[in-house]
Amino acid sequence: MKEIPTALTIAGSDSGAGAGIQADLKTFAALGVYGTSAITAITAQNTVGVTRVQALQPKLVAAQIDAVVSDIGAQALKTGMLANAAIIAIVAKRIRALSLKNLVVDPVMVATSGDLLIEKNAVAALRAALIPLAAVVTPNIPEAEELTGLKLRAAKDIEAAARRIVAMGAGSVVIKGGHRRGPAVDLFFDGKQFRALRAPRLRSRNTHGTGCTFSAAIAAYLARGETLERAIALAKRYITGAIRAGFAVGAGHSPVHHFYRLWKV
């Protein structure tokens, strides 16, 4: 019997199931990877917004990671919503202690609805403790600005931010271009060279969970044995298709269609 690749998501729960843990597990499943999870926070959330957030105790987050890795393992992993500095610190500690590789850090700070998902004092912990462990960091423009302190208005600013994030210790970075005008161009930087990842901009309200899904797809492809650069390119192709096939759910920003390759709505 062929062994299935495994990937772990360490993130928050979205009760509306469009982002967070739920989106990550859907992505893993859609891409042929067995997904496991360590929940960091519970959000009361739908397509319109977030009404309540409850962060879990750091020791419980650590226990979930240990339980999963000791039995099932993780050929790749990703982090999403890490609500506070204490959770970030213990997640980084367990990743180091368990020698986990192929870490994708999605520095989730704000939901699609605009609601804040991380405490302000946690950003410094993200920079110092978690980013140096990452194979790749996947911020959008506002997140890259928060991480670097730079204002990203032009292409040269985005390149400067990418250099600064890699200088924090990350293996590479993809700064997503969804918040820019024009084509959806993401910038990949591995510390040596830049590469633009291009896709047509899709006019859609079905964008809830795009960042979670993109980073989860990178982790899934890494778990399947792809190189980092190819994993990122394949994830870009996957998220573009998932947005294009998105369908209306709820009154706000609907989710992308994680299983668009398998069935049609």
21 confidence band (pLDDT: 50, 70, 90): very high
pLDDT of 157-192, one tens digit each?
A: 999 999 999 999 999 999 998 656 666 689 999 999
Q: Has 43 been annotated as catalytic?
A: no
Average pLDDT rounded to a whole number, residues 42-55: 93
- Model confidence at 76, in pLDDT bands (50, 70, 90)? very high
Q: Which residue has the tokens 């890494």?
A: 222
**pLDDT for the residue 115:** 65
The torsion region of residue 53 among left (phi > 0), alpha (psi -120 to 50) and beta comes to: beta
Strand order, beta sheet including 76-79:
50-55, 34-45, 6-14, 76-79, 103-105, 136-137, 173-175, 184-189, 194-199
List 6, 207, 213, 240, catalytic entry: 207
Overall average pLDDT of the 12-17 stretch: 96
Instruction: Please confirm, yes or no, whether 182 is among the known catalytic residues.
Output: no
Residue 236 known to be catalytic: no
pLDDT tens-digit readout, 105-158? 999 887 666 666 778 789 999 999 999 999 999 999 999 999 999 999 899 999
Active-site entry in 176, 177, 213, 246? 176
| pLDDT tens string 236-262 | 999 999 999 988 999 999 999 999 998
The verdict on whether 212 is a catalytic residue reads yes
Catalytic residue among 16, 18, 20, 211: 211
pLDDT at residue number 179: 58
- The DSSP element (H or E) to which 184 belongs, if any, is strand 184-189
Domain at 6-244: CATH code: 3.40.1190.20
- Answer yes or no: 207 catalytic: yes
* Other CB atoms within 10 A of residue 240 CB: 20
**Does pTM top 0.75 for this prediction?**
yes
C-alpha 202/C-alpha 244 separation (Å) is 7
Active site residue 176: yes
Spatial separation of the C-alpha atoms in residues 213 and 225, rounded to whole Å: 19
Share the mean pLDDT of the chain.
Answer: 92
**265 pLDDT above the threshold of 50:** no
